[in-house]
Structure 1
Amino acid sequence: MAKDENKFSDIQEAGSVEVVYYTDPLCCWSWALEPQWRKLRFMYRGKIKWQYRMGGLIPNWDSFNDPMNAISRPLQMGPLWMEAKYISGMPLQDKLWYEDPPASSFPACIAVKAAGLQSGVAAENYLRRVREAVMLHGQNIARWEVLQQVGEELSEENPEILDLDRFQEDLSGQEARHAFEEDLKQVRLHGLSRFPALTMRRAGEDKGVKIVGYRPYQALEEALHAIAPDLQPAPHTTDETEYRRYWHSATAREVEEALKQE
């Protein structure tokens, strides 16, 4: 994430379109969508605001079942991650599911909510870093020590974003768990069983649009314009350095998406 994180808080306060992003740190298709999702926020910075809701993808392997992809045990998740890597071009450590498979996505969801108790900026940063931990580095984010390490690294680099002592306290407290339970209620209310899923609406309006699953950038922009046809993007960037500086960290695929002319 960018060193100057005020741009995130500004977006979350001043946007004319509200986006709710239902996701999960262990969702490979959410990671696959990062290039398009980041590009949308970059192109419409200052004009949209968003919040994340954690989907609770894998409660545990005794209860998890994905009939669409024929997945009911950890080893079967590896091929799905390989598919997401192949289709999206985003790097993925699919060997995780053979070497040290996460037992649940709930701990990582709770950790994101614990960071979010401090600010939306903290939630944004922590979610990205915990995704990088599992997707890029193959770390088992079902382990509390890994989640604490992610918090320590974020706090060390950006102490103004995350207070480590408070994060560690909230990580084992009830408020973060209650916030996650509220997210799960919203997931059920909207009938969501796949992630990522995004709802978009004009601020103050009830009607909106919903997008479910991995989509190209054009689909996200078309959904945005369906509810806000007057919304104009910023000038298209051709500067890789500028884009990397904005996000602080970016994969080659994310940069490629940002620089691509539609």
Structure 2
Amino acid sequence: MNAENKIIINAFTDPLCTWCWGSEPIYRKLQSHFGDNIEFRPVMGGLVEDLANFRDVKNDIGGRSMADSNRDIANHWAEAAARHGMPVDSENFNLFDDEHRSTYPQNIAYKAVQLADPGKAEIFMYNLRVASAAQARLTNLESVLIEIADESGVDIPAFLRKLRDGTAEQAFRGDLALTRHLGVHGFPTCLIKFNNQQIMLRGYRDFDTFVSIIDSLSQGAIKPIAPAQTAEALLDFMANHPKMAIAEVREAFNFATLQDAENFVVPLIENGTLQKEIAGSSYFVVKPNLAGACDLTTGDCG
């Protein structure tokens, strides 16, 4: 379907935004139910320019030392994870220090991938969120960002060129200008477009809200179609989403409970079709052949 006849979701986001991470199950459900009728276009909003000057009064984050702010953020993530169900490692979160006080490096890295290897941008963003939220990796370090790019199959020389020659930062500044121009102050925020119409949704929203907006914008022309609850359907979907949290499986395939989703994937894990990857407060299911990047020792790219 061409862009003029599909739903475009401009998703204003930041790789370190916990409720953006918590929205991933909803986005998987939108993708599994609307298929090619929907397209996500991330816009990097730059959540934290400098943690020393950052204040989130509602969640009591900021205004203290870096160590205290790390604990405040970790506590907020743990509280949010209890609601959204995505894996979070709040116990080991220690991202910020006096030298690394911003989330801008992660935003710029995404733009570098988008410019250098656009077909890998979606999986890089997902893996960047995984690394930040579920694995407590120091994703504001260039070395870690390179690792994540490699794990995502990104063209590393092209990525590094864009990361270091200023073009990725320039692209990020463009996203930042758009974010501010449209009055977006919190994440996630989604600007949903269909032809010449658009509606902005601010904050975390459930699937039914998105469906209602899509129905209104398209005047009923675009409807969700539920996927089959079969192993074949899941594996087909995972061709584009090779790693999924169990909360995402539940939403994408309409399981009534998390236990139902777990019961569904257990046989696939037991027979080796999928692998189970424990992470923080929950776990992912991963397609074995796509679970990692090239082995830098052997050169084997499975």
Normalising by structure 1, what TM-score? 0.86
- CA RMSD in angstroms, aligned pairs only: 2.0
Match of 2:130 in 1: 132
Q: Deviations over 1:183-225 (max 9, x none)?
A: 111111111111111011113x0x3111111122111222211
Distance 1:96 1:122 in 2: 28
Is 1:90 aligned to residue 86 of structure 2? yes
* Deviation at residue 59 of structure 1 after TM alignment: 0.9
Q: Deviations over 1:61-83 (max 9, x none)?
A: 12211122221133211221011
Amino acid at match of 1:218: D
Aligned residues: 243
Indicate the structure (1 or 2) with the bigger Cα radius of gyration.
Answer: 2
In the aligned structure 1, how far is the partner of 2:254 from the partner of 2:226? 13
Corresponding residue for residue 248 of structure 1: 242
Q: 1:120 to 1:172 in 2, by over 3 A?
A: same
Distance 1:232 1:256 in 2: 20
* Alignment of structure 1 residues 111-130 onto 2, 5 Å: 111-130=109-128
State the Cα deviation string for residues 8-58 of structure 1 (Å, max 9, x = none). xxx785752221010110011001010011110221111122311111001
Cα deviation for residue 174 of structure 1 reads: 0.9
In structure 1, what is the Cα distance between the partners aligned to 2:50 and 2:79? 23
> Who is 1:142 aligned against?
140
Determine whether 1:234 maps to 2:222. Answer: no
Residue 209 to residue 54, structure 1, CA distance change in 2 (3 Å)? same
Matches within 5 A, 1:1-262: 16-72=6-62, 73-97=69-93, 99-101=94-96, 103-155=101-153, 162-203=154-195, 205=196, 207-228=197-218, 229-240=220-231, 242-244=233-235, 245-246=238-239, 247-260=241-254
Deviation at 1:100, TM superposition (A): 4.1
Q: Deviations over 1:71-110 (max 9, x none)?
A: 113321122101110011111111244x443632100100
Q: Check the 8 A contact 2:28/2:251 in 1, yes or no.
A: no
1:3 corresponds to which residue? none
Structure 2 counterpart of 1:242, one-letter code: A
Cα distance in 2 for residues equivalent to 1:12 and 1:31: 28
User: Greater CA deviation, 216-225 or 247-256?
Assistant: 216-225
Structure 1: how far apart are the matches of 2:2 and 2:43?
15
Deviations 1:128-172 (A, max 9, x none): 1111111221101111111011112222xxxxxx32110011111
Q: CA deviation at 1:119?
A: 4.8
**Greater RCO (Cα-Cα under 8 Å, separation 6 or more):** 1
**Residues of 2 paired with 1:12 and 1:35: CA distance?**
25
Contact 1:24 1:56 in 2 (8 A): yes
3-state DSSP class of the match of 1:127?
Answer: helix
- Provide the C-alpha distance between the structure 1 equivalents of 2:150 and 2:81, rounded to a whole number of angstroms: 28
Distance 2:162 2:233 in 1: 35
The equivalent residue for 1:8 is none
Task: Give % identity.
Answer: 25
Provide runs of 4+ in structure 1 moved above 6 Å.
none
Paired residues of 1:12 and 1:48 also in contact (CA < 8 A): no
Secondary structure of 1:85's counterpart equals helix
Q: Aligned to 2:152, what secondary structure does the other structure show?
A: helix
The alpha-carbon distance between structure 1 residues 46 and 151, as it changes in their structure 2 partners (threshold 3 A), is same
Match of 1:53, as an amino acid? Answer: V
TM-score (norm: length of structure 2): 0.75
Give the direction of change, closer, same or farther, for the CA distance of 1:241–1:252 in structure 2 (3 Å limit): farther
Alpha-carbon distance in 2 for matches of 1:153, 1:131: 13
